[in-house]
Amino acid sequence: MKSILSESVWWLTGCPIIKMRIDVITLFPQFVQQVISCGVVGRAAEQGLLELHCWNPREYTADRHRTVDDRPYGGGPGMLMKVEPLQDAIGAVRAKNPNARLVYLSPQGRLLKQRMLADQAALGTVIFLCGRYEGIDERLIEQEVDEEWSLGDYVISGGELAAMVCIDAMTRLLPGALGDDESAQQDSFSEGLLDCPHYTRPEDYRGDCVPAVLMNGNHRDINAWREKQALGRTWQRRPDLLEATRLDDRQQELLDEYIAEFERTRKR
């Protein structure tokens, strides 16, 4: 079974993507900028692997109050973001980054998946549009937005947190962003499965010991155990992922072993 990362288009014009540019259109640029202040994303920015630019629609208003919202036609609660400031902000971003796709972060978008992030990271650039209030004018979505993404079936106050989640997840996929590039390839969902359990010192924690196979130094046995645990954990917690994954004969055998062991333990 191939990794999602290996299936993504990492090669453009004969070279691997070694730097990513992300533009974010937001009413709260200072908030979004915090994502590069620490951790993996911060180190990537310091190393020149990530370039983050924030654009505030208020800078593209014409009135002295810098108004970016208005009442919706047809009435109802809340306000909508106005077309003109957003349109001008988008135009300014595209003048600097003409080849980037515009992704609107919205509860109505496609449910975010690791493959979507990997494919987008492979292109080396993206523009995120963060909504606020009750959203943005539908005409802007139809005319300017290339795709809508959603973190899940719930509502948050704006797209900024969603943008920060996407920035973090995509940065992890950049070669050199992590201490070990294989770390991203072994994350949950990178091969369509959940990750296996992991253990560190102490060997015995409150009478619960590290599985013996991880202590014997036999890497073939360890890899087989980890693969079986990943299959079994996915079977238990996210069977929907297994339904979308084509297992080879060896993987099916490992999963059958896990299920048999699980059933024996449950009957005790």
Distance CA(175)–CA(15), nearest Å, equals: 12
**68 assigned to some structural domain:** yes
- pLDDT value at position 192? 83
Distance CA(254)–CA(228), nearest Å, equals: 5
- pLDDT value at position 7? 46
Listed in order, strand segments (DSSP E) in the chain are 11-12, 15-16, 20-25, 50-55, 69-70, 80-81, 102-111, 125-130, 147-150, 204-205, 208-209
- pLDDT value at position 146? 98
Q: Is 86 exposed, middle or buried (0-12, 13-18, 19+ CB in 10 A)?
A: buried
- pLDDT value at position 10? 42
Q: Which residues contact residue 20 at a Cβ distance below 8 angstroms, ignoring those fewer than 6 apart?
A: 49, 50, 51, 121, 124, 125, 170, 171, 174
* Residue 145 sits in the same domain as residue 16: yes
* Residue 167 sits in the same domain as residue 247: no
**224 assigned to some structural domain:** yes
How many CB atoms lie under 10 A from the CB of residue 264? 9
Residue in 7, 46, 134, 256 annotated catalytic: 134
* Residue 59 sits in the same domain as residue 150: yes
* Residue 132 sits in the same domain as residue 211: no
Residue in 58, 69, 107, 197 annotated catalytic: 107
Element holding 35 (H helix, E strand):
none
CA dihedral sign of residues 157, 162, 55, 139: negative
Distance CA(234)–CA(196), nearest Å, equals: 9
**235 assigned to some structural domain:** yes
- pLDDT value at position 268? 72
Residue in 23, 187, 191, 227 annotated catalytic: 187
* Residue 45 sits in the same domain as residue 94: yes
* Residue 146 sits in the same domain as residue 18: yes
Q: Strand, helix or coil at 97?
A: coil
- pLDDT value at position 183? 56
* Residue 19 sits in the same domain as residue 101: yes
For residue 236, what is the domain's CATH number? 1.10.1270.20
Q: Strand, helix or coil at 103?
A: strand
Residue in 57, 132, 172, 191 annotated catalytic: 172
| Domain span holding position 146 | 4-171
Please state the domain count of the chain.
2
**Using an 8 Å Cβ cutoff, are 254 and 248 in contact?**
no
* Residue 8 sits in the same domain as residue 141: yes
Distance CA(106)–CA(135), nearest Å, equals: 8
Confirm whether 134 is a catalytic residue. Answer: yes
- DSSP state letters, 187-220: STTTTSSPPPP---S-SEETTEEPPGGGGS--HH
- pLDDT value at position 182? 56
- pLDDT value at position 16? 57
Mean pLDDT by 10 residues, the chain (268 residues): 43 56 98 97 96 98 94 92 96 97 96 94 96 93 97 95 97 86 54 90 95 95 96 95 93 97 88
Q: Is 212 exposed, middle or buried (0-12, 13-18, 19+ CB in 10 A)?
A: exposed
**166 assigned to some structural domain:** yes
Each residue of 183-199: b (16+ CB within 10 Å) or e?
ebeebbbbbbbbbbeee
Q: Which residues contact residue 229 at a Cβ distance below 8 angstroms, ignoring those fewer than 6 apart?
A: 196, 197, 258
Distance CA(136)–CA(130), nearest Å, equals: 9
- Two tokens at 20? 């990513």
